[in-house]
A and B are shown apart, each in its own frame.
Chain A
Amino acid sequence: MGQITLQDVQKSFGPVHIIKGADLDIADGSFVVFVGPSGCGKTTLLRLIAGLEDVSGGKILIDGKNVVDTPPAKRGLSMVFQSYALYPHMSVRGNIGFGLKMAGLARDEINRKVEAAAATLNLSPYLDRKPRELSGGQRQRVAIGRAIVREPKAFLFDEPLSNLDAALRVQMRIEVTRLQKQLGTTAIYVTHDQVEAMTMADKIVVLNGGKIEQYGSPLELYERPANLFVAGFIGSPKMNFVTGELALQRGAATIGVRPEHLKIERDGGSGWPGTIAVAEHLGSDTFLYVDAGSLGMLTARYIGELSLHAGDRVSLVPDPARIHRFDESGNALRG
């Protein structure tokens, strides 16, 4: 079991209010990603759950029990750190088995569990090596091994893939997701990379300035962002925002259209006219950055190759069903 509930969790460092009252319900076995810009409090929130920081107010319940006064080791959670945080003087075996040794398990049992975890992570040939003799990806696997071997109620991941190169990151992303599904253990994963968030999560928590902006499934966040911040943060490239007359006509202060929901017509079309400032041709996609006069710079995405270049005149037609509307305070308007 690994059901985690936050009730009005607060955290201040001196006069600085980092977490301003977080309420959250994380179901057993789900994969939840905390995402947000740097300094939004996502890592702090994770550390509060881990017990590495003390809360300034509120409750953290793990399987219904308030753990705010419980030391980290007794919360039954395990954590994977951004820097891997392996013990440099211990072998891979020693690193993975350290938690079990601290728990007072017999040596045979430790060995059996360590070897099982190593086999799951393809680390068996490296058990007797020291961390410095391993590649970045292997070190990351050892850190994950150390987390899974203790059979915790939940895994906490603090930007675990950010030190890996791009190709390895994609591979490890898939491995972590698969491993979590296979074990069925609750996982909380912190990242600033919204692609990681979208691809890995069952549910995403978008944080900004110490507040939870929205909590929902990746597609829910994409299709029905609760406010301007979530709308701008989720999706790549970023959503286009238009204010002024065009927004007022639709009864909103701001309207937003995602780049993939703008139809690109050559000059003379019925949409928003503009001049291409930059055209990016990726083969699979074409991104156009269009200077649309009073509307500002708009980004449009075309699936496939489109032979348009900088300086060409185009007209952008938004898909009427996919226009997001926001009020003055930035909250989404529905209906």
Chain B
Amino acid sequence: MARMATTQRVVISTIGAWFFGFLIFFPILWMVLASFKTELEAFAIPPSFLFFHWTTENYATVQERSDYFHHAMNSIIIAGGSTLIALLIAIPAAWSMAFSPTKRTKDILLWMLSTKMMPPVGVLVPIYLIFKTFGLLDSRIGLVFILCLGNLPIVIWMLFTYFKEIPRDILEAARMDGATIGRELIYVLTPMAIPGLASTMLLNLILAWNEAFWTLNLTTSNAAPLTTFIASYSSPEGLFWAKLSAASTLAIAPILVLGWFSQKQLVRGLTFGAVK
């Protein structure tokens, strides 16, 4: 009886999980499908699900009209660059807070996180003016800078949680074994922190890749990443669903692939510290 109930529960929860998984995935699936339709079919009511005239002309048009690779390169540079700089700043910051905390450490962390609660549009005008004054508008370096600063609190917070999980005893053991601070870093701490560093890096890459507010407002063409590339298809001339879908599919493809291959790291990174 008890076993029956368990099996039933497993079946129900499996079906439920698949259902909700599909529900969440559906918009992406719909977008990919639409990207292979003609503009007319993309609008059609009732919509056709799989039985339509499959075409790749949208992709050709999109590449022709706006250079995909130029935008993709910008995305890679901006996301990669901001992640790298954020890590370089965050590692020592999180390190010192985790291993030599003071009375104020908790407050500093909270204060950092609280900056994320402010809506970016609140500081758009001052940031825009600063960018204008320093000639950073529509430049990659400007975007690297702003995205790095925007994500820094989350990166520090995540790394702090990781470093905190490294037992103090191990560091003390290394000290007893005669390791200097430098060697302790190289031989003991860094190897132990690598999983944490990897998932923090991945999450930051994804956040920076998908960031749309600053990238849309501070670029036009030169430094425009894939977000701008997508946005250019929702134009005043009217919506081109099929082309917009093709552009979006192209834009999310690289990060989707990256996410797929690193999902283990990502899940571990996001749930870290939640469950002991």
Contact = CB atoms under 8 A, between A and B. Distances in A.
B192 A102 contact: no
Contact of B170 (A79, A85, A102, A150): A85
B183 interface: yes
B178 A102 contact: yes
B132 interface: no
Given A50-B176, A99-B177, A87 B169 contact: no
A143 B13 CA distance: 45
B174 interface: yes
Interface string B172-195: 111111110001000110011000
B188 A52 contact: no
A82 B169 CA distance: 9
B126 interface: no
A98 interface: yes
A97 to B, nearest CB: 10
A77 interface: yes
A303 interface: no
A85 B192 contact: no
A26 to B, nearest CB: 18
A52 to B, nearest CB: 5
A79 B168 CA distance: 14
Contact of A89 (B173, B175, B176, B191): B191
A73 interface: yes
A85 B179 CA distance: 15
Contact of B176 (A72, A82, A88, A103): A72
A87 B172 CA distance: 11
A238 to B, nearest CB: 32
Contacts of B21: none
The majority secondary structure among interface residues of chain A is: loop
A265 to B, nearest CB: 53
Contacts of B172: 52, 72, 79, 81, 85
Contact of B173 (A71, A79, A103): A79
Q: In the complex, which of the residues B172, B177, B183, B191 has the most CB atoms of chain A within 10 Å of its own CB atom?
A: B177
Given A81-B169, A83-B169, A87-B188, A98 B176 contact: no
A146 interface: yes
Interface string A116-130: 000000000000000
A50 to B, nearest CB: 7
Q: Looking at chain A, what size class is its interface with the partner chain?
A: 20 to 34
Contact of B179 (A79, A88, A102, A150): A102
B192 A98 contact: no
B170 A52 contact: no
Contacts of A103: 178
A78 interface: yes
Nearest to B175: A72
B167 interface: yes
B274 to A, nearest CB: 21
A87 B173 CA distance: 9
B177 A102 contact: yes
Contacts of A50: 176
Contacts of A52: 172, 175-176
Given A87-B188, A89-B192, A98 B177 contact: yes
A106 to B, nearest CB: 16
26 contacts: A52-B172, A52-B175, A77-B176, A79-B173, A81-B169, A81-B172, A81-B173, A82-B169, A83-B169, A85-B169, A85-B170, A85-B172, A85-B173, A86-B173, A87-B170, A87-B174, A87-B188, A88-B192, A89-B191, A89-B192, A98-B174, A99-B177, A102-B177, A102-B179, A102-B183, A146-B173
Closest 10 CB pairs of A and B: A73-B178, A85-B169, A99-B177, A85-B173, A102-B178, A89-B191, A81-B169, A85-B170, A79-B176, A83-B169
Given A79-B176, A98-B179, A99-B178, 9 more contacts: A52-B176, A72-B175, A73-B175, A73-B176, A79-B172, A81-B172, A83-B167, A88-B170, A102-B177
